[in-house]
């Protein structure tokens, strides 16, 4: 049961990190609209 809890925790962390990355990408794109943000998602 602890392993399932651990997996859920890691999934939550990964999901949160993904949301933060998307938010940062949106903010960066709004800050520099002339420059496309390409290096924000190194692994998809």
Which residue from 5, 36, 42 is spatially nearest to 21, judged by alpha carbons?
42
* CA–CA dist 39, 11 (Å, integer): 23
Domain count, the chain: 1
* CA–CA dist 20, 25 (Å, integer): 8
Q: Which domain holds residue 38?
A: 1-44
Cα 37-10-12 angle, rounded to 5 deg: 65
Beta strand segments in the chain, E: none
Confidence at residue 30, expressed as pLDDT on a 0 to 100 scale: 78
Confidence at residue 31, expressed as pLDDT on a 0 to 100 scale: 74
Q: Which residues contact 31 (CB under 8 A, 6 or more apart)?
A: none
Q: What does the pLDDT look like over 3-44, one tens digit per residue?
A: 899 999 999 999 999 999 989 888 877 777 665 556 555 554
Confidence at residue 10, expressed as pLDDT on a 0 to 100 scale: 92
Confidence at residue 26, expressed as pLDDT on a 0 to 100 scale: 84
């Amino acid at each position: 049961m602890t392993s399932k809890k651990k997996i859920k925790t890691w999934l939550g962390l990964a999901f949160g990190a993904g949301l933060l990355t998307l938010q940062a990408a949106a903010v960066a794109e709004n800050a520099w609209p002339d420059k496309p943000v390409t290096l924000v998602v190194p692994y998809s």
